[in-house]
Structure 1
Amino acid sequence: MPGIIGRKIGMTSLFTPEGKSVPCTLIEAGPCTVTQVKTVDNDGYAAVQLGFGERKEKNTPKALAGHFKKANATPKAKVVEFKIEETALALGDVVKADLFEEGEFVDAIGTSKGKGFQGVVKRYNFAGVGGQTHGQHNRGRHPGSIGACSWPSRVFKGMRMAGRMGGDRVKIQNLRVLKVIADRNVIVVSGSVPGAKNSYIVLEK
Structure 2
Amino acid sequence: MRKGLIGKKVGMTQLFGPDGVRIPVTVIDVGSNVVIQKKSEHGKDGYAAVKLGYGSVKKLEKEGTEPRWRLAKPQVGMFAAAGIDEPRKHVREFRVDEADLDQYEVGQELGADYFQVGEYIDATGTSKGRGFSGVMRRHNFAGAKASHGVHEFFRHGGSIGMSADPSRVLPGMKMPGQYGNAITTIQNLQVVQVLPEDNAVLVKGSVPGPNGGIVTLRTAVKKYHG
Using the size of structure 2 for normalisation, the TM-score is 0.86
> Aligned residues, how many?
204
Question: 2:114 matched to which residue of 1?
Answer: 99
Q: Does 1:178 align with 2:178?
A: no
Query: Residue 35 of structure 2 contacts residue 105 of structure 2 at CA under 8 Å; is this kept in 1?
Result: yes
Question: 2:17 matched to which residue of 1?
Answer: 16
**Residue in structure 1 matching 2:87, options 65, 69, 75:** 75
The one-letter amino acid of 2:171's match is: K
Structure 1 unmatched runs, 5+: none
Structure 2 unmatched runs, 5+: 59-67, 220-226
Shift in Å, 1:194: 0.4
Q: Measure, in 1, the Cα distance between the counterparts of 2:17 and 2:46.
A: 47
Q: Measure, in 1, the Cα distance between the counterparts of 2:136 and 2:90.
A: 35
Question: 1:49 matched to which residue of 2?
Answer: 51
Shift in Å, 1:37: 1.0
Question: 1:26 matched to which residue of 2?
Answer: 27
Q: What are the superposed Cα offsets for residues 13-37 of structure 1, whole Å, 9 maximum, x if unpaired?
A: 1111221111110000132111111
Question: 1:166 matched to which residue of 2?
Answer: 180
Shift in Å, 1:150: 2.3
Question: 2:74 matched to which residue of 1?
Answer: 63
Q: What are the superposed Cα offsets for residues 19-67 of structure 1, whole Å, 9 maximum, x if unpaired?
A: 1111110000132111111123232212110000022344311111110
Shift in Å, 1:71: 2.2
Question: 2:141 matched to which residue of 1?
Answer: 126
Q: Measure, in 1, the Cα distance between the counterparts of 2:201 and 2:48.
A: 27
Alignment RMSD (CA, Å): 1.3
Using the size of structure 1 for normalisation, the TM-score is 0.94
Shift in Å, 1:107: 1.2
Runs (4+) off by over 4 Å: none
Q: Measure, in 2, the Cα distance between the counterparts of 1:147 and 1:132.
A: 25
Identity of aligned residues (%): 44
The structure carrying a bigger strand percent of its residues is 1
